Chain A
């Protein structure tokens, strides 16, 4: 479904991604793991056109999307939940959801109702300003907003950041439901254990490159992952 081949991203003189290659297959949950600054967020930003790669190619459903502009992606079927949620603070919950459907010309009332079933708290808060929601509610809104465009691939950047463990469980449960409903998911996480339990496969990034990759179940027991990302000592 998504193929990235030798993608290089630069911020001015600094090369942030040194030619990374990976793929996401239809129906999978794939996770990108890695320490702060390893290039996970940059990878997602590259995939949604916020930072065009200087070389390499990105293909989505057989189409070359390497040079496609950011605002085109949501209508092409890729939706991005950005790091830090980035809710529009001065818009109501409902207006935020409407922003998620900005590229759609058909009626999306049913989809909004679906989001309210998925996250009933958003229905209660629909007239409140996005900036007045709690962190967990904002994350739910950010995911719902991204789903409003009917994406076939959902990019999630650190969905657990700054949230209480109970809320994190709830968010990951919903991500599983989204996958079961047919949306492919690429999730960047620092919370490796949680991400690997949900994911089918994982890529581990170090210093702007992909260090290794495997099935999620194997990574969960891989001593390199356990040592660095799950905070366990190697025997």
Chain B
């Protein structure tokens, strides 16, 4: 049997399971990618400290669940309530950390019309500070999340088992992404964000408070990023350096989908998650990142602006 046919055989066996896992990871990447792409839309800058929003969201949920669940086994009702509480606290803390970053690391630079490079240095500094601060305060060890539910197999599809964890990710991910899409497309706040992304000065002539809109954009992206951090940490735990790799991949997903485009970020996240997951069967688990970034490079060679390469303003 040749190399490829043997691997296709493996793929056939595991395909559905890997696909389910890939889509779940894809939703997490998508939720983080949204934060990069929205901030890019209004400020034309990459918030490289977004990885720490992801991490602090996970820690907030960790502490809440430790308090709520502890060693108990929640019943079905408690499971749902605790899960919602953990999602909300992860999101709220993520939003607050993002707001803090905007105020401390970026706004002073905007006031002084600093060059783009200064924002990058500021982001790296803020990122280092946040993750070392969390490492020092809460220990540089991996903290297991007290999951508010038992991870059973809910159903099987083509032989692939779908566990509770995946159901949680799909449900939370779809809810958040659809809500955000509608918010940006139809609400007054969303119109303000799109106006600033298309022409900030003219938006201010219409009565849009640019500073406030930028802060809200950071908070929306931060909310989704914090929730994503929590979802990511459920099976693997929370640790101070957990944000780096997934956030880098989410940033790549945002570029893959077309930076500045909301739906592009979602599409890029899902593609990256699925490709990465399937590469385990195609090549080997050891090459998972190589394949993911290889796809990114190939897509960008063909379409430098990304798959949906347009601006946030278009995402109506």
Contacts and interface: CB of A to CB of B under 8 A. Distances in A.
Interface stretch (B52-60, B157-165, B200-208, B220-228): B200-208
A36 interface: no
B207 A102 contact: yes
Interface residues of A, number: 27
B20 to A, nearest CB: 36
A106 B255 CA distance: 40
Contacts, number: 76
B33 interface: no
B198 A90 contact: yes
A72 B212 CA distance: 13
A99 B204 contact: no
A145 B203 CA distance: 12
B316 A91 contact: yes
Contact of B313 (A49, A70, A71, A91): A91
B209 A99 contact: no
A74 B204 CA distance: 9
Contacts of B310: 90
Nearest to B213: A71
Contact of B207 (A75, A86, A95): A75
Interface in B9-48: none
B181 interface: no
A80 B207 CA distance: 11
Interface in A161-189: none
Contacts of A70: 201, 204-205
B191 interface: yes
B173 interface: no
B195 A91 contact: yes
Contacts of B208: 71, 99, 102
A75 B204 CA distance: 11
Nearest to B313: A90
Nearest to A100: B206
B191 A89 contact: no
Contacts of B112: none
B188 interface: yes
Contact of A71 (B188, B191, B199, B209): B209
Interface string A116-144: 00000000000000000000000000000
A90 B205 contact: no
B152 to A, nearest CB: 46
A88 interface: yes
A133 to B, nearest CB: 15
B263 interface: no
Interface in B272-316: 310-311, 313-314, 316
Contacts of B313: 88-91
A48 interface: yes
Contact of A99 (B201, B206, B210, B316): B206
A103 interface: yes
Contacts of A48: 205
Interface in A143-168: 145, 149
Contacts of B50: none
B268 interface: no
A88 B199 CA distance: 7
A98 interface: yes
B205 A91 contact: no
Contact of B204 (A71, A92, A98, A100): A71
A208 B314 CA distance: 39
B309 to A, nearest CB: 13
B184 to A, nearest CB: 12
Contacts of A102: 188, 191-192, 195, 206-208
A70 B205 CA distance: 6
B194 interface: yes
A48 B206 CA distance: 11
Task: Tell me which of A49, A82, A98, A99 has the highest count of chain B C-beta atoms within 10 A of its own C-beta.
Answer: A99
Interface in A36-87: 48-50, 69-75, 79-80, 82, 86
Interface in B190-248: 191-192, 194-195, 198-199, 201-210
Q: Which 6 A-B pairs have the closest CB atoms?
A: A103-B207, A90-B313, A74-B207, A70-B204, A86-B202, A102-B207
29 contacts: A69-B204, A69-B209, A70-B205, A71-B204, A71-B206, A71-B207, A74-B206, A75-B207, A86-B199, A86-B201, A88-B202, A88-B203, A89-B313, A90-B198, A90-B310, A90-B311, A90-B314, A91-B191, A91-B195, A91-B198, A95-B191, A95-B316, A99-B191, A99-B195, A99-B203, A102-B207, A103-B206, A103-B207, A149-B206
Interface of A: 48-50, 69-75, 79-80, 82, 86, 88-92, 95, 98-100, 102-103, 145, 149
Given A102-B208, A149-B207, 14 more contacts: A70-B204, A70-B205, A73-B207, A79-B205, A86-B199, A86-B201, A88-B195, A88-B313, A89-B313, A90-B316, A98-B191, A99-B191, A102-B195, A145-B206
